[in-house]
Amino acid sequence: MTWAELLKAPPPLTMKGLRAFMERWKPGSTEGFKPATAVQIAALAQPHGGLDALPPVYSDFLAAMGASTGSFRLTFGTTSISALLEDREDTQRERPDPRRYVKVAIGEELPEDRYPDEFFELFRPTPDGRDAAIVRIHEDDLVRGKQTAKRPFATFSDWLRAVAVSRVVLETEPRKQTKSYSLGEKPEAVAKTYEFFSRLGFSLTELGASSAIIPLEHRKYGATILISAPSLWIPRAGVELRARDKTQQRILEEAISDHEEELSDD
């Protein structure tokens, strides 16, 4: 797939693809997945206008691992549907407009503070309608407009892609084998990096891709890379590399080092 084709029709993320990628790189990593029930999903969707109001990728997520993501922790908190439904039982709290926001994660409680929550912005769907923008902010701050929400990932799909690659590839031992490269602030760096690795024989994985988060893999080399576009969260493009074999890792590192200035174009 060329860069122009990826921009025009980015391949979507599916839970089947997520599971396949994770199990190939780390067998047993999805064993803790537990689906939410149809009754739970309907109850969660009801205040937002029913099942059709939920982004399809989120409905798929709930049906695959809505009850538990096992060891695949997405955030400092919980995405459990039982916790989300229990949280809603507190009718004394003011909530954001359910036609605009869906809470998908509750921040973890700490003795001195609490991590922020995660919300879909239903009014900002992706062009294909499968996903929507996602923001990180405490619910009280969202209701009162006290703070600007953070956007570490553009969509729920990008969030899942980035965490999946990190958990089962980049963060595995020995961690020092994973190499990271900063490619500057220019958006063109992402296209150049994608095309560079495509020429080396890397291709898209079962995780799909977007213009912001692009996992690529070379089956013969046993290597995976994660390309990230500049964002408000991290204003520089980057690429992370990990190969199963140390020799192959060094070869790829040398290839990147030889072209790093060309790719960043700063």
Chain segment 108-129, per-residue pLDDT in tens = 988 778 899 999 999 999 999 9
Question: Residue 215 is encoded by which pair of tokens?
Answer: 């996992």
In a shared domain, residues 73 and 28:
yes
What contacts 20, CB < 8 A, 6 or more positions away?
Answer: 206
More confident residue, 12 or 230: 12
Specify if 83 maps to a domain.
yes
pLDDT confidence band for 265 (50 / 70 / 90): low
pLDDT confidence band for 223 (50 / 70 / 90): very high
In a shared domain, residues 99 and 138:
yes
pLDDT value of residue 154? 94
- For 259, the domain range is 173-264
pLDDT value of residue 186? 81
Specify if 31 maps to a domain.
yes
Whether the pLDDT of residue 266 is over 70: the answer is: no
In a shared domain, residues 43 and 146:
yes
Distance of CA 50 to the CA centre of its chain: 25
pTM of the model: 0.92
pLDDT value of residue 158? 97
In a shared domain, residues 194 and 139:
no
What contacts 71, CB < 8 A, 6 or more positions away?
Answer: 29, 32
pLDDT value of residue 2? 93
Q: State the average pLDDT over residues 162-184.
A: 91
The tally of domains found in the chain comes to 2
Percentage of residues of the chain with pLDDT beyond 70: 99
pLDDT value of residue 90? 87
Q: Are 58 and 13 in contact (CB under 8 A)?
A: no
pLDDT value of residue 182? 87
In a shared domain, residues 17 and 42:
yes
Chain segment 15-39, per-residue pLDDT in tens = 999 999 999 999 999 999 999 999 9
CATH number for the domain spanning 189: value is 3.30.310.50
CATH number for the domain spanning 89: value is 3.40.1580
pLDDT confidence band for 258 (50 / 70 / 90): confident
Q: What average pLDDT does the chain have?
A: 92
Chain segment 225-251, per-residue pLDDT in tens = 999 998 877 788 899 999 998 889 999
In a shared domain, residues 69 and 152:
yes
In a shared domain, residues 109 and 203:
no
213-218 and 179-182 beta bridge pairing: unpaired
What contacts 94, CB < 8 A, 6 or more positions away?
Answer: 140, 143
Specify if 164 maps to a domain.
no
Distance of CA 153 to the CA centre of its chain: 7
More confident residue, 266 or 84: 84
Q: Are 138 and 146 in contact (CB under 8 A)?
A: no
Q: State the average pLDDT over residues 206-223.
A: 95
Residues in the chain: 266
In a shared domain, residues 232 and 150:
no
Whether the pLDDT of residue 157 is over 80: the answer is: yes
